[in-house]
């Protein structure tokens, strides 16, 4: 595992720094899941990664609409882009569009979210299983390794599937902990708030929640605060500025798994550039995650 990360670290350094030589200009189409804070940072990283590489980015956002994303992919194929980067809205649903692009001779890369049932040149994303394990370990320790916990899920997305798998792996090590509910909020804040309200009624002994992104975490937090539930703790995922501020205030949201979307963006475009220059790239590049809490944020 150490050797794997050392090799990837060397590759990431190469694709991030570049060669400095003048390159042929390439058109690269990008379709993002949405343009929330996370994807704004990822997009910024992509723009930074394109500098000096002869790459012209055409970036669009699907705003969580599979039909729109499918249309965007098809339009990029018609435009004859040199490569395509997809951040899937639906990991399974986007597969056929990716296959059509590949059959048209366009190399396809995925960033942040994996596509199922479709082959791509390389997938660049946070190591979400590792992030899920960090969340599970943190929540377990916070609760003294026992108690009822719930997951607010979004199972249509592979990155979330990996987070949840990692979380379950960590929690399963402690016999005193039990996952009692796993509803889906689709990553939506308002739905997460309603779901949390319902869970508090269904599971009066609930002690912890793993929220698969910060919209979900902040929605769950609003429900807990409204109900005066100070004994129920949340661990979220993404470490957006709003979530960090909530953690600093010391409410129900105690910690967040932090991703590095700027790095994902830079490495993605660097990888595309290396491939278009005729070099071999890995099938997957995992970007390690970390965790932040009130104590670590006080040192920023």
Cβ atoms of 210 and 136 closer than 8 Å? yes
Tokens representing 282 are 């890995």
Interatomic CA distance for residues 24 and 30, integer angstroms: 19
Tokens representing 112 are 């942040």
* H helix or E strand, kind and range, residue 97: helix 95-103
Number of Cα atoms under 13 Å in the Cβ half of residue 233: 18
Q: What is the pLDDT of residue 2?
A: 42
Cβ atoms of 110 and 88 closer than 8 Å? yes
If 0-12 CB within 10 Å is exposed, 13-18 middle and 19+ buried, where does residue 219 land?
buried
Q: What is the pLDDT of residue 170?
A: 98
Sequential DSSP letters for 115-182: PSSS--SEEEEE-HHHHHHHHHHHHHHHTTT-EEEEEEB-TTSHHHHHHHHHHHHHHTT-TTEEEEE-
Give the end-to-end CA distance of the chain in Å, rounded to a whole number: 30
Higher pLDDT, 12 or 133: 133
Helix ranges (DSSP H) in 203-240: 214-227
- 3-class DSSP state for residue 56? strand
Question: Looking at the domain covering 128-238, what would its CATH class be?
Answer: alpha beta
> Which residue do the tokens 């059509």 mark?
100
Interatomic CA distance for residues 108 and 266, integer angstroms: 16
CA dihedral sign of residues 29, 33, 36, 41: negative
The pLDDT-based confidence of 103 (bands split at 50, 70, 90) is: very high
* pLDDT above 60: residue 19: no
Q: What is the mean pLDDT of the chain?
A: 93
- 3-class DSSP state for residue 27? strand
Domain segments of the chain: what residues?
2-125+261-286, 128-238
Interatomic CA distance for residues 287 and 2, integer angstroms: 14
pLDDT cut 90: percent of the chain above it: 87
Q: Read off the pLDDT of each residue in 111-123 and give the average, rounded to a whole number.
A: 93
pTM of the predicted structure, to 2 decimals: 0.79
Cβ atoms of 61 and 39 closer than 8 Å? yes
Model confidence pLDDT, tens digit, residues 219-265: 999 999 999 999 999 999 999 999 999 999 999 999 999 999 999 99
Cβ atoms of 223 and 249 closer than 8 Å? no
Interatomic CA distance for residues 94 and 115, integer angstroms: 7
Interatomic CA distance for residues 185 and 216, integer angstroms: 7
Architecture of domain 2-125+261-286 in CATH? 3-Layer(aba) Sandwich (3.40)
Helices (H) and strands (E) in the chain, counts: 11, 12
- The answer to whether 2-125+261-286 and 128-238 have equal CATH topology is yes
> Which residue do the tokens 């082959």 mark?
119
Q: Read off the pLDDT of each residue in 158-178 and give the average, rounded to a whole number.
A: 96
């Amino acid at each position: 595992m150490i050797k794997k990360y050392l090799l990837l670290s060397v590759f990431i350094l190469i694709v991030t720094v570049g060669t400095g030589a003048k390159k042929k200009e390439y058109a690269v189409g990008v379709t993002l899941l949405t343009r929330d804070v996370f994807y704004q940072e990822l997009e910024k990283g992509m723009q930074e990664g394109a500098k000096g590489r002869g790459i012209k980015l055409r970036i669009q956002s699907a705003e969580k609409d599979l039909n729109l994303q499918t249309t965007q992919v098809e339009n990029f194929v018609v435009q004859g882009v040199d490569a395509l980067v997809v951040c899937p809205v639906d990991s399974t649903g986007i597969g056929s569009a990716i296959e059509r692009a590949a059959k048209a001779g366009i190399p396809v890369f995925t960033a942040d979210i994996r596509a199922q049932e479709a082959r791509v040149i390389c997938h660049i994303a946070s190591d979400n299983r590792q992030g899920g394990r960090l969340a599970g370990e943190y929540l377990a320790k916070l609760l003294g390794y026992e108690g009822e916990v719930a997951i607010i899920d979004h199972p249509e997305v592979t990155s979330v599937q990996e987070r949840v798998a990692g979380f379950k792996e960590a929690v399963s090590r402690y016999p005193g902990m039990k996952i009692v509910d796993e509803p889906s909020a689709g990553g939506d804040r308002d739905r997460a708030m309603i779901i949390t309200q319902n869970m508090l009624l269904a599971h009066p002994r609930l002690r912890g929640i793993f929220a698969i992104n910060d919209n979900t975490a902040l929605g769950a937090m609003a429900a807990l605060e409204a109900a005066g539930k100070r004994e129920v703790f949340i661990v979220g995922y993404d470490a957006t500025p709003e979530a960090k501020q909530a953690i600093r205030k010391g409410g129900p949201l105690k910690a967040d798994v932090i991703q590095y979307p700027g790095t994902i963006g830079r490495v993605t475009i660097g990888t595309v550039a290396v491939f278009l220059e005729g070099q071999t790239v890995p099938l997957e590049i995992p970007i390690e995650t970390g965790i932040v809490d009130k104590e670590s944020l006080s040192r920023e």
